[in-house]
Structure 1
Amino acid sequence: MKLSSLLAGSLLLASCAEQQAPQQALTPPALPVQVLHTGTETTYQDYPASIEGVVNVEIRPQVTGVLERILVDEGAAVRKGQPLFKINDAPFREQLNNALAAQQAAAGAVVSAQIEVDRFAPLVQNKVVSEVQLQTAQAALIVAKANLQRAKAAVSSARINMGYTTITAPVSGYLGRLQTKQGSLVGPTDAQALTQLSDVHEVHTYFSLGEDDFVTFRKQYAGSTLQDKLAHLPPVALVLSDQSTYPTKGKVDMVDGQFNKTTGAVTLRATFPNANGLLRSGNTGTIRLALAHPDVLLVPTAATVELQDRVFVYAVGDSNRVSRQAITIQGKSGANYLVSQGLKDGDRIVLQGIDHLQEGQIIQPTPEAPKASAVVVDQEAAQSVQN
């Protein structure tokens, strides 16, 4: 009796399980779904860069002498023509005085020679003396005038050397370190400059593109020549070493004429205004190039799966049936892929739970999670938020 009751109960439970299993299997899973829309997306590519002033000059003496005074401090902002250093000018003043004396003597010799010519001219005309004496006097006058010109040149040279004893700023800018101390003997052949001067009202930022990147660069921007492409290139951003973004955008305005044979890269230059002097020569940073991608779809990377070097999504079709769809990725922006092929505007894709989906499975679409479509589309903005 007990055995028959036990068998009856087991059969009843098995029957109930068989009836419930199909019902549970027929219940489609509820998964979040997103509708895709085409648009223009901007991505950014970063390149290490070095910063230089528009003018970087070494300040060197042009005459040899003792450095008598240093008129500025290290790192000072100076204007064009401002005195920086003073070399002892006593030897050069004496040279100038000697040159002036020699000039006066030469001028006197010219007067004396002219008197001789004037004296012999009427005598030759009256045939009192031979013409040879007049010609000799005229030749002496020519030599005297030449000596006077030489003396005047020596005075000018002495004045120039005298002026070189005051070393002035050739451009406006900021000084570097002062490498020579007061009282030192300095000269044009010194191995080390007195200091360096940088004009940084604008700065040139140099960065390099490899051959592949340069080919991409030429294809991505409008224009038939490099100059046309530079004209159409949008302003670029400069990311500083602390990952902050320089407040003013710059413009790429130069491409080197040839590739570096050692590195296989070509150098580009971007110019940034620097009215407040925040940037100095020798700074480093990162140039961020912007690239617009028209007519692309944004697909979250979390909604994709990679199989055999190809990327797939689960597209939701009619009757909410899913199918695995291969996509072509054009780039990446934040947490999203930029898809150019494989999907079209208005298509729906599964956002989550794709690991357990099968081809042809029916799902129950649910509204996408809040902000599921609010993806990061601007890497520069995302970086500023993080900072």
Structure 2
Amino acid sequence: MTKFKILSIAILGVALLLTSCKQEEQQASQQQALPLAVAKVPQKNVTAYTTYPTAIEGTINSEVRAKVSGYIQKVLVDEGQRVKKGQVLFKLETQSLSQDAEAAKSRVNVAQVEVNKLKPLVEKNIISEVQLETAKANLAQAKSTYRSIAANIAYATVTSPVDGFVGAIPYREGSLVSATSAKPLTTVASIEKVFAYFSMNETDYLNFIQQTKGKTLQDKIENFPKVGLILANGQAYDQTGIIETVTGQIDANTGTVSFRAVFNNPNMFLTNGNSGKIKIPKYYQNALVVPQSATFEQQGQTFVYTVGEDNTAKATLITIEDKTDLFFIVDSGVKAGDLIILKGIGKLRNGMPIVPQESEFDSIVKQLKPLFQ
């Protein structure tokens, strides 16, 4: 075999080897290209919510206290019971008061007899008018004492000051109570409507006020959006509320401004002492949105994978203006119409090839679930 033939065979072998390697690389590249769902970044009208812890109280929350000292003889209601104004709640022991009343009544009778005896004597000028007036004064004092004791006996029957629902009853039959007892006998709360108290820090307050229409604070209060309520179990309350008052003053101790919202409570579901979160909506028109599940974080920054012209995944930094349960509202980084990868981002690295499978944005989003907040 000539040197020329040997060289030709060698060149042919190298060419075949290179072709084979190139085919293998192409095949490997095609195998690595993942088929992934992509969609165009849309503009949507969306509502985001800011939440604040809240405490619930009845619109009327009246303490019921004993006006006189005594032992509780009877407890005539139970906790949670609905009562009417004037309904008897407790009866206190009045035996000693009753004895005092009998003695006072006797003194009234004695004083009355004295006055009756002196009247004809004064008319006949047997005694002076001064003696009669003194007797009348003694009678008036005896009657006043009797009325005071009688009032205390009446106070021993404790009634409800308002229509509402009975709260906790810390004292039971046999307990000694008085006007100075540390705890009230109970509370009666009116809960047909309830107040929700919450606070904002100074920055949130200023942003909220400045973004609300109106020239004066009262104008702005009237234009505040209706608010929602998230209950302690994480469920949404089925009534919306109205913000009625705002102090407008920064609390020096907490650095916050206090608000009060009112909610209807037709089923008496809410009661005094409930807690939860107030949801204040903020509305965005034609906002750029991306699903939260289509993003990832690196060093405190948020990224999405956009699709490059060569069908490769490109890690793209975005800045977030706000968020909803499903979406991030994007301030910058992407624009309407950009293709982003919606699923499988955990398998991707920057520059990896993909096989884009474009879908309607809304059809993909319907399959998503809110991320845990």
Normalising by the residue count of structure 2, what TM-score does the alignment of the two structures yield?
0.75
2:6 is aligned with 1:8: no
Please identify, of 103-112 and 53-62, the stretch whose mean Cα deviation from structure 2 is larger: 103-112
- Kept in 2: contact 1:250–1:273 (CA 8 A): yes
Name 2:146's counterpart in structure 1. Answer: 155
Aligned amino acid, residue 236 of structure 2:
T
Aligned equivalents of 1:88 and 1:350: distance in 2?
Answer: 78
**How many residues get paired?**
362
Identical-pair percentage: 33
Instruction: Compute the displacement of 1:42 (Å).
Output: 0.5
1:45–1:147 distance in 2 versus 1, CA, 3 Å: same
Name 1:206's counterpart in structure 2. Answer: 197
TM alignment of 1:293-332, pairs within 5 A? 293-301=284-292, 329-332=320-323
Please identify, of 315-324 and 153-162, the stretch whose mean Cα deviation from structure 2 is larger: 315-324
- Over residues 121-149 of structure 1, what are the superposed CA-to-partner deviations in whole Å (9 max), with x where a residue is unaligned? xxxxxxxxxxxx9xx93444444444443
TM alignment of 1:74-113, pairs within 5 A? 74-111=79-116
1:174–1:305 distance in 2 versus 1, CA, 3 Å: closer
Given the alignment, which residue of 340, 343, 348 partners 1:350? 340
Q: Where in structure 1 are there 5+ consecutive unaligned residues?
A: 121-132
- Kept in 1: contact 2:164–2:191 (CA 8 A): yes
Q: Where in structure 2 are there 5+ consecutive unaligned residues?
A: none
- Kept in 2: contact 1:295–1:340 (CA 8 A): no
- Kept in 2: contact 1:256–1:268 (CA 8 A): yes
- The DSSP-based 3-state class of the residue aligned with 2:96 is helix
Name 2:258's counterpart in structure 1. Answer: 267
- Kept in 1: contact 2:313–2:349 (CA 8 A): no
Aligned amino acid, residue 94 of structure 1:
Q
- Kept in 2: contact 1:328–1:340 (CA 8 A): yes
Name 1:216's counterpart in structure 2. Answer: 207
- Kept in 1: contact 2:198–2:258 (CA 8 A): yes
- Kept in 1: contact 2:111–2:139 (CA 8 A): yes
1:18–1:372 distance in 2 versus 1, CA, 3 Å: same
1:115–1:283 distance in 2 versus 1, CA, 3 Å: same
Given the alignment, which residue of 207, 210, 221 partners 1:230? 221
- The DSSP-based 3-state class of the residue aligned with 2:238 is coil
Instruction: Compute the displacement of 1:331 (Å).
Output: 0.8
TM alignment of 1:1-387, pairs within 5 A? 1=1, 3-10=6-13, 12-13=15-16, 34-111=39-116, 114-115=119-120, 118-120=123-125, 137-256=128-247, 258-301=249-292, 329-340=320-331, 347-351=337-341, 356=350, 367-368=358-359, 371=362, 374=365
1:313–1:283 distance in 2 versus 1, CA, 3 Å: closer
1:158–1:273 distance in 2 versus 1, CA, 3 Å: same
Normalising by the residue count of structure 1, what TM-score does the alignment of the two structures yield?
0.73
1:185–1:375 distance in 2 versus 1, CA, 3 Å: same
Please identify, of 32-41 and 56-65, the stretch whose mean Cα deviation from structure 2 is larger: 32-41
- Kept in 1: contact 2:312–2:351 (CA 8 A): no
CA-based RMSD:
4.4
Aligned equivalents of 1:308 and 1:216: distance in 2?
Answer: 28
- The DSSP-based 3-state class of the residue aligned with 2:225 is coil
Please identify, of 229-238 and 142-151, the stretch whose mean Cα deviation from structure 2 is larger: 142-151
- Kept in 2: contact 1:92–1:158 (CA 8 A): yes
- Kept in 2: contact 1:172–1:199 (CA 8 A): yes
